[in-house]
Structure 1
Amino acid sequence: MPTITFGSQTITCNQGDNLRKVLLANKINLYNGNATTINCHGLGTCGTCAVEITGPVSAQSWKEKTRLSLPPHNPDKQRRLACQVSVEGDIAVKKYDGFWGQGDTVVSA
């Protein structure tokens, strides 16, 4: 079973599980500020669940690539939308500041 390291927490999940669902089920705050209530609930359209991931996950879909190429995101930052990611092995997740997680300061590593 893959492990997900988020800040000081390490949790396990099944291979292929959706990262957003796993984090929320384990009471990990994936969102910054009001994005906790103002988000697309996993549709991949708002971009508020952007995180940096190290480790094996699914490839980006066209929907995810498109959203992450639009402001305030920047495709050069190598962020992923947790709602669009399937966990394929052991990963580490970092969340950054900013409403959409687009900032440069790590708020959970």
Structure 2
Amino acid sequence: MMALVYFERQSKTVSANAGNNLRLLAKKNGVQIYHGIDKLLNCRGNGLCGTCMVEVFPAKPEFVSPPTAMEEKKLKNYNNPNLRLACQVKVHGPMRVKTYPVELYASSTTSAPPVTL
């Protein structure tokens, strides 16, 4: 089954096969999910660093894999059920993805006010 994945910040829609990994799908299609130094310093898709945090909005809940234990641990301090680690997400249907929610990432790493793009 083919599914369309819309990357909101990039205004880009790509096709995915059921079970595709969201991080690899983004990389394959030139969609940047890392920002700043995280482009170089990340765990390469092992769910350890949290730098591939995205917001996922599936058309239906079953169109995205359930959160892994690693995701639940990394994202437990955020009050947003749509936050996921792209490296842990399996695509099973159409969805909209908001890459690098900078306002959330910044608020977790500094006491400076959040920046929105």
Q: TM-score under structure 1 normalisation?
A: 0.84
What RMSD, in angstroms, separates the aligned Cα atoms of the two structures? 1.7
Question: 1:105, CA displacement in angstroms?
Answer: 5.3
Q: 1:23 to 1:106 in 2, by over 3 A?
A: farther
Q: 1:62 to 1:54 in 2, by over 3 A?
A: same
Aligned to 1:30: 33
Q: 1:106 to 1:21 in 2, by over 3 A?
A: farther
Does residue 65 of structure 2 align to residue 58 of structure 1? yes
Equivalent-residue separation in structure 2 for 1:84 and 1:57 (angstroms): 10
Q: How does 1:15-94 map to 2 (within 5 A)?
A: 15-55=18-58, 56-69=63-76, 74-78=77-81, 79-94=83-98
Aligned partner of 1:53: which letter?
V
Q: TM-score under structure 2 normalisation?
A: 0.79
Bigger radius of gyration among the two:
2
Size of the alignment, in residue pairs?
101
Deviations 1:37-84 (A, max 9, x none): 100000001000001000021001111111112xxxx33123100000
Question: 1:102, CA displacement in angstroms?
Answer: 2.1
Aligned partner of 2:41: which letter?
I
